[in-house]
Amino acid sequence: MFDVNKIREDFPILNREVNGKALVYLDNAATSQTPQQVIDAIVDYYQNYNANIHRGVHALSQEATDKYEQARLKIQKHFNAEKAHEIIFTSGTTHSINIVANGFSLLIKQGDEVLVSAMEHHSNIVPWQMLCERTGGILKVIPMNQDGELLMNEYDKLLSDKTKLVFCNHISNALGTINPIEDIIVKAHEVGAAVLIDGAQAAPHIAADVQKLDVDFYAVSAHKVCGPTGVGMLYGKSTWLNKLPPYQGGGEMIDEVTFEKTTYAALPHKFEAGTPNICGGIAFGAALDYMNSVGFEAITKYEHELLQYATQQLLEIEGLRIYGTAKNKTSVISFNIDRVHPYDVGSILDKLGIAVRTGHHCAQPIMDFYKIPGTVRASFCFYNTKAEIDILVAGVQRAVNMLC
């Protein structure tokens, strides 16, 4: 049974004060907070079995290796990958995307087209621009409507036998839109293009099934799913991962090294050069355990309630406009007050102990689309409460009174 008060007890940080006020943490789309269970896993690693993995013959190294590989299995199971070696540990979504972008620079030829959605995070735009600059590929954009929904008929028109790659986020970080990735993937495959889905924002809300989606690549960061920063994963179909060249050279990723030639290790190690974030990987596994113990069905249902309540309450405020009004969206509300700069609202909310994000959310093209400098973004997690939303709404109202 989902009990938010019981869940909140798992998150020690939620007890702290900010500027003399109880913290109201509504910046979950930037990073989620860490439950005690994950903190314990981190402490346990450093207190009891900190060692380098895949190398030593000694007991600690063996233990650390086992736990790290167990975490990989947990991630594999969570995302339902067919094989464990299709899960590559990375430093996060950005790193994951760069592995693929770098790899494809050998596969993309002059005149090939890559499609990217209009609502991408900079991390899913810039690597592809760099790829196109290197290869002579052409970057094309799938446009969106005022509600922040992709225009699928325009997508159909953009697809052709020239299309080699399609990139899209599962959920938009700035708008909260849940994109129709099932459709996007099927249609891309019909013209023979590969698809990378940026799952950074989706992972805390949806347990994606990569086999069912038939997606070629799926990227996630641990810190969005109650895990630590600096670690994430890239799922790739093994056929693709075997085709792509390694991203970084170093230890761990080699098979044999001579000064004449090096042969690379098999998956997943080919993409895991150097000593990885061992503790982070293990804690990532612990975070998924935690999320699954809460249960994604319960999370989705509860967050939807929060979203509806917050939307309703915020819209009562005069002059408030919400950006991102897709029918299918997650618990993110991006908004502005008429004639008020988002930074001003954010600064005042901060003084009231309310953490929100302000700015362009690393998605400048979206802000250009709406012709605004940025938005205030409140993003809710399953540990947030309606009482906290009331505090947010009162805070925004106070900011309006001060600023207008």
CB contact set of 140 (below 8 Å; sequence gap of 6+) = 113, 114, 115, 116, 158
3-class DSSP assignment, residue 374: coil
CB of residue 176 vs another protein: minimum separation in angstroms? 22
Question: Min. distance of Cβ 344 from another protein in angstroms?
Answer: 5
Q: Taking the mean position of all CA atoms in its chain, how far away is CA 185?
A: 18
CA 183 → CA 139, 187, 351, distances in Å?
20, 6, 44
Residues in contact with another protein by CB under 8 A are: 19-20, 340-341, 343-344, 346-348, 350-352, 359, 373, 402-403
State residue 46 phi and psi, 5-degree precision. -75, -25
Nearest distance, CB of residue 25 and another protein, angstroms: 16
**Min dist. Cβ of residue 111 to another protein (A):** 35
Contact (CB, 8 A) for 134 and 151:
no
CA dihedral 246, 251, 255, 259 (to 10 degrees): 90
Which of 348/389 has CB closer to another protein?
348
Residues 6+ apart with CB under 8 A from 112: 135, 137, 138, 162, 163, 164
Please count the other Cβ atoms lying within 10 Å of the Cβ belonging to residue 342. Answer: 23
Q: CB of 331: closest distance to another protein in angstroms?
A: 24
Shortest distance, position 349 Cβ to another protein, whole Å: 11
Catalytic residue from among 132, 362, 381, 404: 362
Q: Least CB distance from residue 3 to another protein, whole Å?
A: 34
In angstroms, what is the minimal distance from the CB of 370 to another protein? Answer: 15
Residue with smaller CB distance to another protein, 26 or 219: 26
Half-sphere exposure of 382 (CA within 13 A, CB side): 28
- Rounded Cα–Cα distance for residues 275 and 179 (Å): 35
Residue 2 or 343: which CB sits closer to another protein? 343
Which of residues 279 and 352 has its CB atom nearest to another protein in the complex? Answer: 352
Which H helix or E strand runs over 344? helix 342-351
CA 360 to chain CA centroid, Å, is 17
| CB distance 200 to 93 below 8 Å | yes
The nearer residue to another protein, 63 or 344, going by C-beta atoms, is: 344
| CB contact burial 202-215 (16+ within 10 A = b; e otherwise) | bbbbbbbebeebeb
Collapsed DSSP state (helix, strand, coil) of residue 26: coil
- Are the CB atoms for 175 and 203 separated by under 8 Å? no
Looking only at the bridges linking them, the beta strands covering 254-257 and 232-236 are unpaired
Respond yes or no: is residue 168 known to be catalytic: no
Q: Given the complex with another protein, which of 365 and 373 has the nearer CB atom? A: 373
Q: Which residue type sits at 10?
A: D
Output 200 or 399, the one with its CB closest to another protein.
Answer: 399
For the annotated catalytic residues, the residue numbers are 362
